Amino acid sequence: MRPRDLACTAVLAAVAGGMPFAAASAAMPAAVSGTRVPSLAPMIRKVSPAVVTIAIRGITPDGGANDPLREDPFYNRFFHGPLGQSADEQPFAAAGSGVIVDAKHGYILTNAHVVDHATSITVTLQDGRNLNARVIGADPPSDIAVVQVTAAGLRQIRLGDSARLAVGDFVVAIGNPFGLPHSVTSGIVSGLKRSGFSPDDYENYIQTDASINPGNSGGALVDLEGELVGVNTALLSASGDNIGIGFAIPVNTARRVMRQLIEHGAVHRGQLGISLYAVTPAVARSLGLHEAAGGIVTQVIPGSPAEKAGVRAGDVVTAIEGHRVGSNTDLRTAIELLRVGDGVSIDLLRDGRRQRRHATLADTLPRTPAHAAARAPRPSGAGLGRSPSALPQ
């Protein structure tokens, strides 16, 4: 066997056996021409103990028969077992990632889709310990879940501020892609406030070219200071392969969801009761507006907080609680975690005049035929994480 073949065989054997390996020849020199070469290694060593592998076993209601991801060979290989598994087989095993955010109480952030339909959850720490975990709460609209373990010597990550991120910032993704624990990839923030994948969900994604693959779901997206800035959740791909477009949930969103899940076991979002259409340049011209900004109100649910506040169809909403809005996604982001009974200010234009209205968010909205149609269940396969172009990771 040639030396190169022997080396490759040794590496593959180490990976297959779950054993760590070191490639000394691939390491960067400590210095070049007397100048120290920057390295992410110190930060990775500090952060990695807070990143965990999450393995689940569970039962899906339909055995995954309506899940288009079953057709993807990588998904079947690493998540649903051998290819050709019958849709009638209800049990399944899956794997993802998580991040310890509270060592004292054993709280771990992950994705809701990672623990969906789980009957048992095992968390594996970097030191090799396997711990039983329980779900504290899961919020599918934001795709955030909190699980809890009981153990001594846990290490938690420091939470950053995703509002300070800018396109071009360097970030690092850490997780369990394809069953390879504590894999590290690096890249930059490629975009912010990405949305439009799933109309009924709360989307405000960080886009990154740091490689995110199946198994990275729930893992850490950290900045160069080692602070958690996002929870990895999906990649954009037609085949399931990474093409350099991955998405993470901003840590500021994850933090707010986590607090409600820990306190209440669920997220209680306030409802306003309007639908918006973005003001395009053409719409702005037709309305005599000076700029294409805001969202025109296309629907006000009768009896809703918005109607009680005096909002009308045709109004142009420019801001809610000081947050600029131009679409339903912006609207949901502005009030995503405001609670029932919270008051909100609504800045709008009516007949060219600026107005401010005040509404009190409700728990539920009155049901109307139009509203029921708008909130009808989506067909299986629609939306982020269930379409061939955007796969949960």
Of the candidates 232, 237, 131, the residue with the CA atom closest to the CA atom of residue 176: 232
The one-letter amino acid code at 186 reads S
**Quick check: 179 pLDDT over 60?**
yes
Burial degree of 369 (CB within 10 A; 0-12, 13-18, 19+): exposed
Average pLDDT over residues 82-100: 71
Structural domains of the chain sorted by starting position, each given as residue range(s) with its CATH number in brackets: 45-148 (2.40.10.10), 158-267+382-392 (2.40.10.10), 274-362 (2.30.42.10)
What pLDDT does residue 78 have? 38
**Quick check: 377 pLDDT over 50?**
no
- On the CB side of 59, how many CA atoms lie within 13 Å of its CA? 5
What pLDDT does residue 249 have? 94
What pLDDT does residue 46 have? 95
What pLDDT does residue 82 have? 40
| DSSP reduced 3-state for 34 | coil
What pLDDT does residue 25 have? 39
Q: In percent, how much of the chain has pLDDT > 90? A: 41
Torsion of CA 254, 142, 236, 84, to 10 degrees: 120
What pLDDT does residue 84 have? 40
Least confident stretch, 145-149, 224-228, 374-378:
374-378
Residue-wise pLDDT for 37-62, tens only, equals: 678 999 999 999 999 999 999 887 76
What pLDDT does residue 281 have? 85
What pLDDT does residue 115 have? 93
Average pLDDT over residues 70-97: 55
**β pairing state of 295-300 and 274-278:** antiparallel
226 contacts 46 by C-beta, under 8 angstroms: yes
| Integer CA distances (angstroms), 27 to 15, 30, 41, 298, 301, in order | 18, 9, 11, 58, 61
162 contacts 189 by C-beta, under 8 angstroms: no
314: left (phi over 0), alpha (psi -120 to 50) or beta: left
Give helix then strand counts, H and E, for the chain. Answer: 8, 22
Annotated catalytic residues are 113, 143, 217
The one-letter amino acid code at 84 reads G
**Quick check: 192 pLDDT over 50?**
yes
Of the candidates 135, 159, 307, the residue with the CA atom closest to the CA atom of residue 227: 159
Confidence of residue 255 (pLDDT cuts 50, 70, 90): very high
Residue with tokens 């991120």: 165
Of the candidates 222, 179, 171, the residue with the CA atom closest to the CA atom of residue 49: 222
pLDDT higher at 14 or 92:
92
Instruction: Determine the Cα–Cα distance for residues 148 and 261; give it in Å rounded to an integer.
Output: 12
What pLDDT does residue 89 have? 53
Confidence of residue 326 (pLDDT cuts 50, 70, 90): confident
